[in-house]
Structure 1
Amino acid sequence: MAALAQYERIVVDIRTRIADGRLTPGDRLPSTRQLAKDWGVALATATKALTALQQQGIVVSQPRVGTVVAGVAGAAPGTPADAPLSREQVVRAAIELADAEGLDALSMRGVAARLGVATMSTYRHVTSKDQLILLMADTAFGEPVEVAGAGEPGGWRDLLTRAARTMWALYRRHPWLAHVTPLTRPLPLPNLVAHGERMLAAFQAVGAFDPQSLQDLQVLVYSHVQGLAMQLEGEARALADTGLDEDEWMAVNGAGFSGITGSGRYPRFTALMAAFGEAGGYDLDLDELFELGLGVLLDGLAVRFADPDRRRDTRRR
Structure 2
Amino acid sequence: MPDETTEPPYRRIAADIRRRIAEGELVPGDRVPSTRKLAEQWGVALATATKALTELRLEGYVETRPRAGTVVAPRRRAAPEPPAAHRRPDGAGEADLTRERVVRAAIEIADTEGLAALSMRGVAARLGVAAMSPYRHVGGKGRLVSLMADAAYGELGYPDPPPPGWRARLELGARTLWRLHRRHPWLAHVSPLTRPLVLPNVLVHGEWLLAALEDRGLDAVTRMDVQLLVFTHVQGVAVTLEREAQAEAATGKTDDEWMDTQRSALGALAASGRYPSFARTLGALENGEYDLDLDALFDLGLTALLDGLAPRMERAARR
* TM bucket, shorter chain: 0.7 to 0.9
Over residues 235-261 of structure 1, what are the superposed CA-to-partner deviations in whole Å (9 max), with x where a residue is unaligned? 111111222222222221223222321
Question: Aligned in 2, Cα 1:103/1:32: closer, same or farther, shift over 3 Å?
Answer: farther
Aligned to 2:235: 226
Query: Following the alignment from structure 1 to structure 2, what is the Cα–Cα distance between the partners of residues 110 and 217?
Result: 39
Offset of residue 78 of structure 1: 2.8
Q: Which residue of 2 aligns with 1:162?
A: 172
Structure 1 equivalent of residue 49 of structure 2 = 50
Is 2:129 the partner of 1:130? no
Separation in structure 1 between the aligned mates of residue 178 and residue 80 of structure 2, nearest angstrom = 34
What stretches of structure 2 of length at least 5 have no aligned partner?
65-69, 82-87
1:33 is aligned to 2:42: no
Post-superposition offset of 1:54: 6.4
Task: Quote the Cα distance in structure 2 between the aligned partners of 1:176 and 1:143.
Answer: 15
Report how many residues are paired.
294
Contact map agreement 2:124 2:131 (CA 8 A) in 1? yes
1:194 has 2:210 as partner: no
In angstroms, what is the RMSD of aligned CA positions? 3.7
The one-letter code sitting in structure 2 at the alignment partner of 1:187 is L
What amino acid is the match of 2:90? G
Structure 1 unaligned segments of length 5 or more: list them. 313-317
* The one of 87, 103, 119 aligned to 2:115: 103
Q: Show CA shifts across 1:26-57 (max 9, x none).
A: x8995453872xx69389958344334368x6
SS in 2 for 1:91: helix
Q: Distance between the aligned counterparts of 1:17 and 1:300, measured in 2?
A: 53
1: distance between equivalents of 2:96 and 2:15?
31
| C-alpha distance in 2 between matches for 1:49 and 1:141 | 30
Give SS of 2:96's match. Answer: coil
Report how far residue 122 of structure 1 moved. 0.9
Give the equivalent residue in structure 2 for 1:60: 58
Aligned partner (choices 282, 286, 311) of residue 294 of structure 2 = 286
Aligned 8 A contact 2:59 2:77 in 1 = no
Equivalent position of 2:12 in the other structure: 12
The superposition leaves residues 139-168 of structure 1 with CA deviations (integer Å, 9 ceiling, x where unpaired) of 100102689xxxx93210111011000000
Distance in 1, Cα, partners of 2:131 & 2:103: 14
TM-score (norm 1): 0.79
Which of the residues 236, 250, 255 maps onto 2:245?
236
Letter of the 1:15 counterpart: A
Amino acid at match of 1:283: D
Q: Please state whether the residue corresponding to 1:125 is helix, strand or coil.
A: helix
* Percent of aligned pairs sharing the same letter: 46
Contact 2:94/2:133, CA 8 A, preserved across alignment? no
Provide the residue aligned with 1:181 in structure 2: 191
Shift of 1:298: 0.7
